[in-house]
Amino acid sequence: MKAAIYCRLSKEDETKTGESESIQNQKSMLIQYAMEKGLELYQIYSDEDYSGIDRNRPAFNAMIQAASEHRFDVVLAKTQSRFTRDMELVEKYLHGKFMEWGIRFIAVVDHVDTDDTANKKSRQINGLINEWYLEDLSVNVRSVLDHKRKEGQYIASFALYGYRKDPAVKGRLQIDPEAAEVVKRIYAMALRGVGAHKIAQILNEEGVPSPTAYKQQNGDRCHLTRKTPYEPLWSSGTIYQMLHNQTYAGDLVQGRHKRVSYKSKRTVWLPKSQWIVVENTHEAIIDKDTYAMVQRTMQGRTRSGVGGMIHPLARKVVCSCCGCIMEQTGRPPKADGTRVRYVRCRMHQRDPGRCGNRTCTNLNDLQELVLRRIREYAEDYFDPEKVELPRRDDPVRQQAQRSELKRLKSEVERRRRAVQQLYLDKVSGLIDAVQFSEMNQSFLKEVKKAETRINALEAELEQQQEETGVVQAQMQRVRELAQVSHLTRELVVLLVDRVVVGPKDARMGGQKITIEWNF
């Protein structure tokens, strides 16, 4: 009779029992058993790093295929759990297919033998116990992982794009400068109204490695869900997920999806209320104000317009009659290539009986109206020179620090010359060695104290200079906002709640347009 040997080792088994469950140990035991029973060895099948519930074990499936072709007569395993921990597979093969194919199954350690009809109930009980073990293990592992998530530990296999795992502190993220610059650029483009599809297109055209390609270039063995001959590229879906990931703002977000069962690899997304969010666990790439602004900008998904740009007033223009968001439309281009865009009520197009606003309003005129009103508000209520920004630098204090720094440097130089003169006095015999040593130690101590203070002053003045540069940049930004040279998506999201457009009045020859502000 020919015997096939099956061995399996999973990570949890290796951690729990070490060498006693090793593949080599299983092989040795089963080969010896086959020799003692006079069985001819057909082949050894071995699956390493596979769970007993996994139905996609390559060696296991190859053995089942060979069994169906009756290439051997007996399957040998150390225990029934090495063969499978899935009760359904126990019934399917041990009590079903193997009997049809004339295959005998023997588990050496727990005395399972399908030729012995008396221990069928024992095999079924073993199958249940093995499956319960996996179920309990799954619950325990999930609770441990959830605890780590709630403690603010990052537990994913790979760091989020823009970060890398801190080698010094397990479970903590640190910024990857190269990738972080790409993340900042993506958020900046989104604030300017560039759509996700256009952002992906720009990055691909410039040859910026996608998150998957970047991991591969840095030696990470990441798994590609789609096997294609092409290099992984940026996609609008990737950009969209990055723009909605709060982890970039310094708050660790985990537990967004889970497996449907310990028996299945399929995952389902959880509602946001069930996500595990721990604030301020790592350095942010995107500040919280910018992140919040991007969320407001992307609120209510909009289609990109010409050049991949989202129109500044997208999803902001509504009909005064029915409250429906108005849609863009246009007429054929003119001879010079220019094209006039309009907005009209969607409800009127679908059901004129429910909304009588059939007016088409020039979108460029509407945009100019909003821009003009914003400029008027800026001129009436906003003086950029009166805007209070955080000022940590005190000119009087800085002058005092510079004076002290100059004095200390002069003092150090004077002390160094004194030490040189002291040495000459010793050589000349004007002072003895003991006097020289005492005076030299005193001078060196004073020099060291002065140099420590010099280093502290220089560092503080340098920090103040950097902060002054930041304040000046912020003031320049304030002046740019006050000028309002053109209408941007960022500005509309910040200031405009909605633009309410009414029908044109044929008798009065006018049209009521109301701008509702966010302030």
In tens, the pLDDT along 422-468 reads 777 777 777 788 877 888 788 888 888 888 888 888 888 877 777 66
In tens, the pLDDT along 228-264 reads 445 688 988 899 899 999 999 999 988 887 776 655 5
408 neighbors 454 (Cβ within 8 angstroms) = yes
- Whose CA is closest to 175, among 250, 242, 287? 250
Same domain, yes or no: 58 and 39 = yes
Mean residue pLDDT across the chain:
80
Q: Please report whether residue 155 resides in a domain.
A: no
The pLDDT of residue 30 is: 92
Q: Please report whether residue 152 resides in a domain.
A: no
Q: Domain total for the chain?
A: 4
Determine the residue type at 174.
Answer: Q
Same domain, yes or no: 477 and 496 = no
Most confident of 6-20, 275-289, 301-315: 275-289
The pLDDT of residue 136 is: 62
Q: Please report whether residue 210 resides in a domain.
A: yes
Same domain, yes or no: 493 and 372 = yes
CA separation for the pair 62, 73 (Å, rounded): 15
Is the pTM for the entire model greater than 0.85? no
Q: How does residue 138 score in pLDDT terms, banded at 50, 70 and 90?
A: low
Q: Please report whether residue 375 resides in a domain.
A: yes
CA separation for the pair 248, 175 (Å, rounded): 10
192 neighbors 182 (Cβ within 8 angstroms) = no
Whether pLDDT at 119 is above 80: no
Q: Please report whether residue 173 resides in a domain.
A: yes
The CA-based dihedral angle spanning residues 82, 88, 93, 99, taken in that order and rounded to the nearest 10 degrees: 130
The pLDDT of residue 20 is: 46
Same domain, yes or no: 14 and 143 = yes
CATH number, domain with residue 283: 3.90.1750.20
- Any bridge partners for residue 326, and if so which? 345
Higher pLDDT, 33 or 124: 33
CA separation for the pair 26, 380 (Å, rounded): 85
Q: Which of 122, 147, 172 is the last residue of a domain?
A: 147
Burial class of 338 by CB neighbour count within 10 A (0 to 12, 13 to 18, 19+):
exposed
Structural domain for 185, as ranges = 163-298
Average pLDDT over residues 120-136: 64
Q: Please report whether residue 153 resides in a domain.
A: no
Same domain, yes or no: 108 and 171 = no
Q: Please report whether residue 156 resides in a domain.
A: no
Answer positive or negative: Cα dihedral of 52, 57, 60, 64. positive
CA separation for the pair 6, 43 (Å, rounded): 9
Same domain, yes or no: 289 and 429 = no
Whether pLDDT at 42 is above 50: yes
